[in-house]
């Protein structure tokens, strides 16, 4: 960590200075980064955590992230979706980070395009609008027209953003480690895991070739749906740093609420938004992982327009089935189904208390059992499930958490447009479809064939695996692990008994040695050492040794 401090010393100093500026100086001091501040700031700064009372905690965090730059703005956007972790007011403040970024100057943008295509902007596009349409933490978009006449949106990555993000990610890893060591809340919220999730997500978002492929898959999936628009990708005008898509016209989410555009039917918009998302997740298996207002537009014909597929989730057939079973288990009051489903979906710790876990599932089941779908909010269901799994240290795979967060975000959006719309009511037909598909003879036969293939394949591999195991046994390379839950308790009892025996032996030895010295002094013959206080010295030495052994026994805590 010292090496990283030296390599990124200037950036560390910037970060700790901004933390102190917005009232988080106590964290800087607690985690041991106080020395990175300049001497004047060390003297005049407030490290109590009681300053900046004129602004709310959410506002201070948002302003701090904005000042720290693109990486931290993107981190704030991720945190804005984590309503399962953050208080509502803070998450709401994080959402304001979406559109508040200063655009890169047009000349720099043109230079990037020229470097990517080996030609000037004028040679690549018939027309390129220098005015930025939208600026985000990683990229910004410009309107343009191709030589062939198509109207397009060009998304260009910010200059040197990859190096900036990689440096900041290294620092975030260090800070997360320091904070988790110092604060219980940081360990509870698994800050290190959040940084890992963030680093993986942002690296994917930096690669526009990957985003182009995902966008094209969903464009093809919705190609026959008249209610959903996914922009077409122009691969000849796209690279790792530049992405060119169809330009789509439409209203922003905020305009639906404030301006009430003519011809827009909020109820219809909400239904199509929910159904299009469920189509992505439960049919296509690829879904938009960040459907916040900045990534959605709405056409005058009440069509849903999705943009920016930098963050997506994936559900395979078994994951779709498990997610459906989770909702069915809650609605039908089936604790055993809930237990089996979560066990299949998640990473279960070895020391799970099954009895307590099932008891908590019973409480969860009773909360939603027999409730009509219209009275159940999907966001609340997801938060309750996450609370139970978190309590038992059960790890939920990223794609499920991403799906949960996306559904929570969607529910928040549609509630403001039409609070009579319920996601679970609209999702009910998808659940029936999943059940029917599961019982379909062709699907069952496929599953039987696949299972049979696995059995045959594993049977064919068995001889080689057995040979390999026997070879390792013969060479002494096999490692056997045994887990005995009561072993530590038994060893502690044995250790305690051994310490008591040692104490008794030491006490007996001390008594014998002391008796021998006294007898020798009383009945022994006089010598040159008669004037030396042998008895006193011997008693002192033996007593000192006795106390050392006694102290070590008591310090072990097993007496």
- CA-nearest of 485, 498, 515 to 553 is 498
Q: Which two tokens stand for residue 527?
A: 């010598």
Nearest 10 degrees: Cα torsion 474, 475, 478, 479: 130
Q: By the 8 A CB rule, do 201 and 398 touch?
A: no
Q: Which two tokens stand for residue 225?
A: 């749906």
Q: Which two tokens stand for residue 292?
A: 């916040």
**Neighbour tally for 554: CB within 10 Å:** 12
| Helices within 392-486 (DSSP H only) | 398-417, 423-439, 441-475
Q: Which two tokens stand for residue 113?
A: 């395009």
Question: How far is 255 from 250, CA to CA, in rounded Å?
Answer: 10
Question: How far is 344 from 361, CA to CA, in rounded Å?
Answer: 15
Question: How far is 219 from 276, CA to CA, in rounded Å?
Answer: 12
Q: What share of the chain is helix, strand, coil (3-state, %, to 5)?
A: 65, 10, 25
**Residue 207 falls in the annotated catalytic set:** no
**Could you give the C-alpha distances from 417 to 154, 175, 266, 295, 414, in angstroms and in order?**
30, 40, 6, 17, 5
Question: How far is 12 from 28, CA to CA, in rounded Å?
Answer: 11
User: Which residue among 290, 308, 325, 360 is the active-site one?
Assistant: 290
Place of tokens 């191709």: 146
Place of tokens 């072993």: 487
Residues with active-site annotation: 290
């Amino acid at each position: 960590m010292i090496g990283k401090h030296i390599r990124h010393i200037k950036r560390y100093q910037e970060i700790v200075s901004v933390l102190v500026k917005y009232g988080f100086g106590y964290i800087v001091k607690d985690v041991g980064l106080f020395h990175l501040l300049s001497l004047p700031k060390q003297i005049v700064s407030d490290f109590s955590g009681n300053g900046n009372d004129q602004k709310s905690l959410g506002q201070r965090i948002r302003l701090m992230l904005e000042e720290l730059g693109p990486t931290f703005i993107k981190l704030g956007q991720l945190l804005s979706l984590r309503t399962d972790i953050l208080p509502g007011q803070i998450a709401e403040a994080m959402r304001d980070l979406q559109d508040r970024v200063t655009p890169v100057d047009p000349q720099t943008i043109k230079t990037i395009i020229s470097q990517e295509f080996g030609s000037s902007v004028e040679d690549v596009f018939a027309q390129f609008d220098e005015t930025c349409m939208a600026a985000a933490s990683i990229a910004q978009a410009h309107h343009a027209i191709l030589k062939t006449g198509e109207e397009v949106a060009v998304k260009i990555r910010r200059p040197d953003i990859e190096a900036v993000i990689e440096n900041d990610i290294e620092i975030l890893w260090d800070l997360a480690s320091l904070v988790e060591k110092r604060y219980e809340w940081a360990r509870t919220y698994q800050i290190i895991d959040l940084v890992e999730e963030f680093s993986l997500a942002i690296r994917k978002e930096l690669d526009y070739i990957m985003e182009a492929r995902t966008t094209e898959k969903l464009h093809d999936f919705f190609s026959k749906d008249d209610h959903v628009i996914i922009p077409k990708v122009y691969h000849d005008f796209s690279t790792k740093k530049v992405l060119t898509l169809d330009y789509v016209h439409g209203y922003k989410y905020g305009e639906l609420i404030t301006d009430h555009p003519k011809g827009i039917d909020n109820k219809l918009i909400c239904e199509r938004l929910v159904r299009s998302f469920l189509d992505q997740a439960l049919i296509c298996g690829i879904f938009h992982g960040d459907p916040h207002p900045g990534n959605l537009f709405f056409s005058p014909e009440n069509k849903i327009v999705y943009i920016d597929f930098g963050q997506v989730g994936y559900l395979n057939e078994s994951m779709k089935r498990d997610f459906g079973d989770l909702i069915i288990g809650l609605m039908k009051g089936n604790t055993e189904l809930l237990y089996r489903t979560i066990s299949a979906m998640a990473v279960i710790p070895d020391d799970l208390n099954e009895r307590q876990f099932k008891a908590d599932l019973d409480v969860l089941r009773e909360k939603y059992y027999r409730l009509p779908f219209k009275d159940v909010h999907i966001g609340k269901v997801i938060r309750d499930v996450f609370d139970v799994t978190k309590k038992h240290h059960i790890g939920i795979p990223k794609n499920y958490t991403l799906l949960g967060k996306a559904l929570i975000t969607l529910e928040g959006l549609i509630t403001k447009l039409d609070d009579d719309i319920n996601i679970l009511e609209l999702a009910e037909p998808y659940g029936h479809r999943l059940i029917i598909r599961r019982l379909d003879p062709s699907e069952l036969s496929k599953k039987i064939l696949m299972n049979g293939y696995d059995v045959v394949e594993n049977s064919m591999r068995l001889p080689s695996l057995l040979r390999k195991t026997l070879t390792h046994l013969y060479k002494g390379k096999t490692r056997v692990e045994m887990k005995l839950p009561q072993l530590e308790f038994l060893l502690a009892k044995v250790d305690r008994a051994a310490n008591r025996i040692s104490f008794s032996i030491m006490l007996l030895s001390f008594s014998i040695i002391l008796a021998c010295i006294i007898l020798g002094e009383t009945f022994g013959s006089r010598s040159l050492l008669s004037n030396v206080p042998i008895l006193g010295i011997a008693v002192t030495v033996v007593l000192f040794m006795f106390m050392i052994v006694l102290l070590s026994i008591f310090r072990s805590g097993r007496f």
